[in-house]
Amino acid sequence: MNNRLYGNLIFELSKEGRKGYSLPKNHFGSYEIPAEMKRAEEAQLPECDELTVVRHYTNLSNNNFGVDTGFYPLGSCTMKYNPKINEEMAALPQFQNLHPEQPVETVRGAQALVTLLEKSLCALTGLAHFTFKPYAGAHGELTGLMTIDNYHRSRGDMARKKVIVPDSAHGTNPASAAVCGLEIVEVKSLANGQVDFEDLQRLVAEQGTEIAAMMMTNPNTLGLFETRIPEIAQLIHDCGGLMYYDGANLNPMLGACRPGDMGFDVMHINLHKTFSTPHGGGGPGAGPVGVREGLQDCFPFVSPYQGNYGVMMRAYAYILSLGREHVKEVGPLATLNANYIKESLKDVYELPINTICCHEFVFDGLKDKSTGVTTMDVAKRLLDYGYHAPTIYFPLLFHESLMIEPTENESKETLDGFIAVMRQIAEEAKTDPELVKGAPHDTPIGRVDDVLAAKHPVTTYRQLQAENV
């Protein structure tokens, strides 16, 4: 650990009486604050000189990893390509300084942008209307499921309380269904990673009159294109249910095919993934929900405001800068990059489903299991080489899932560099497994106890002192 850069808290750098500022001369006189409004004791603030403060925070910020510092092959929830021009657009003061309570006549331009974005999303998805209120993908799922629930109720069909969710689905799918008060029915996946159609037929035969909807992700969370969607949609529609599409990661589909044409009735899109908003640690996001004509009357009330406006601006800028022609290149390039990495590594990493993938794919750990080196170890060792780890232990279909998504705009050199490091780690696992198991070695802190860090976070200096950690 490099103490100079990482070791100290700002409180530990404090020296009594040290000041980091000098205020201009006071020309205004002074005002005595009433005693009852004053604190009983001095605030315990660190006292440091300016350079110490600036260096402290600059060094801390350098410990951050982001798309601007290195390759970020996180699958599924990934940061896709985030062009800088979109940041400039979102920062335009005419838009950035809007207030949600502003009179409507003063925000006509902002409203027009929402309408134009809605038109673009309708064109890309084949659906008829979008609501922009949801603040994230999961919020979109909840909104979409509430829409479906409202639809069934509006027809007096109160028995439809079950949602079919594939076992490969993103965890938010069953969670959103549960929050919506619906019951989850799991449908199995086949060995090829696709929904088991026979299992689905059995479920529908048994419980058809209670099915509110089926949720699907396509390409699914294994990065595979579900080929039986027309038959699945037919089956669900015939039993009276609706088809829900999880469009969190729409990039491989852009301009290639549309959920609306495949038989989906309701969907959400994660603008912050597919349409270029840097996100992480909980925000910012936008999960607009699109529906087939007629279903817009069933939209629930989920927020008084028009969603996350900056995210919508970036999305629209992204769509405009690509245009109708170039939007079609996003999917093929993301797919090419993912397949290039997959094919270059599948002799040393276990590829459980050996087929062409879409924008992402999943390894099941290292091929050579005899070394005892796990997916967690590989992910930690990648940090030593300056890479963000891929998504690990998701999806749950395999024990050692390692889910990789390169996105569309990484150069061949970047991909080759990553492939070389992944091969190097596979080699180290054989020749020096302890090196990999002990990783990371070069990061500010070593391997943390995930559970303890999440369940018992130490967040204040006093707590730290009290616990003497």
Ligand X SMILES: *Cc1c(COP(=O)(O)O)cnc(C)c1O
Q: CA nearest 212: which of 265, 163, 165? A: 163
Least separation, in Å, of the C-beta of 269 and ligand X? 10
Residues 162-191 that bind ligand X (CB under 6 A): 170, 172
Half-sphere exposure of 2 (CA within 13 A, CB side): 10
**The binder of ligand X chosen from 90, 117, 138, 187 (CB under 6 A):** 138
Report whether 189 contacts 169 (CB < 8 A).
Answer: no
Measured N-to-C along each axis, helices 309-345 and 108-125 cross at an angle, to the nearest 10 degrees, of 30
Least separation, in Å, of the C-beta of 5 and ligand X? 32
Residue 402 engages ligand X in binding (rule: CB under 6 A)? no
455 pairs with which residues across the strands?
none
Q: Cα dist. 72→1, 203, 382 in Å?
A: 24, 39, 11
Least separation, in Å, of the C-beta of 130 and ligand X? 16
**Alpha helix segments (H runs only) across 12-102:** 50-62, 84-90, 93-96
- Note the Cα 297 to chain centre separation in Å: 29
Least separation, in Å, of the C-beta of 408 and ligand X? 16
Least separation, in Å, of the C-beta of 214 and ligand X? 15
Judged by CB, which is closer to ligand X: 268, or 342? 268
Residue 217 engages ligand X in binding (rule: CB under 6 A)? yes
Least separation, in Å, of the C-beta of 136 and ligand X? 4
End-to-end Cα distance, the chain: 16
**The binder of ligand X chosen from 52, 72, 73, 77 (CB under 6 A):** 77
Judged by CB, which is closer to ligand X: 172, or 335? 172
How many residues bind ligand X (CB under 6 A)? The answer is 15
Least separation, in Å, of the C-beta of 274 and ligand X? 10
Judged by CB, which is closer to ligand X: 334, or 366? 334
- Measured at CB, which residue is nearest to ligand X? 137
**The binder of ligand X chosen from 76, 168, 277, 407 (CB under 6 A):** 76
Residue 423: partners with Cβ closer than 8 Å, 6 or more residues away: 345, 348
| Whole-number Å distance between alpha carbons of 59 and 444 | 11
What burial class does residue 230 get, using C-beta atoms within 10 Å of its C-beta: 0-12 exposed, 13-18 middle, 19+ buried? exposed
What ranges make up the beta strands (E) of 240-294? 242-247, 266-269, 289-291
Least separation, in Å, of the C-beta of 158 and ligand X? 28
Judged by CB, which is closer to ligand X: 241, or 285? 285
Residues 239-268 that bind ligand X (CB under 6 A): 246, 248-249
Residue 137 engages ligand X in binding (rule: CB under 6 A)? yes
Q: Which segment (66-74, 132-140, 256-264, 385-393) binds ligand X by CB under 6 A?
A: 132-140
Judged by CB, which is closer to ligand X: 77, or 242? 77
Helix (H, G, I), strand (E, B), or coil: what is residue 132? coil
Least separation, in Å, of the C-beta of 138 and ligand X? 3
Least separation, in Å, of the C-beta of 302 and ligand X? 13
Q: Cα dist. 245→163, 265, 361, 455 in Å?
A: 12, 8, 20, 33
Report whether 318 contacts 327 (CB < 8 A).
Answer: no
The neighbour count for residue 339, using CB atoms within 10 Å, is 18
For tokens 């925070």, name the residue: 57
The token pair that represents 23 in the structure block: 């205020």
Residue 197: partners with Cβ closer than 8 Å, 6 or more residues away: 228, 231, 232
Judged by CB, which is closer to ligand X: 165, or 373? 165
Judged by CB, which is closer to ligand X: 226, or 246? 246
Residue 120 engages ligand X in binding (rule: CB under 6 A)? no
Each residue 264-293 as x (binds ligand X by CB under 6 A) or -, in order, gives ------x--------------x-x------
Judged by CB, which is closer to ligand X: 222, or 422? 222
Each residue 287-326 as x (binds ligand X by CB under 6 A) or -, in order, gives x---------------------------------------
Residue ranges that bind ligand X, judged by CB under 6 A: 76-77, 136-138, 170, 172, 217, 221, 246, 248-249, 270, 285, 287
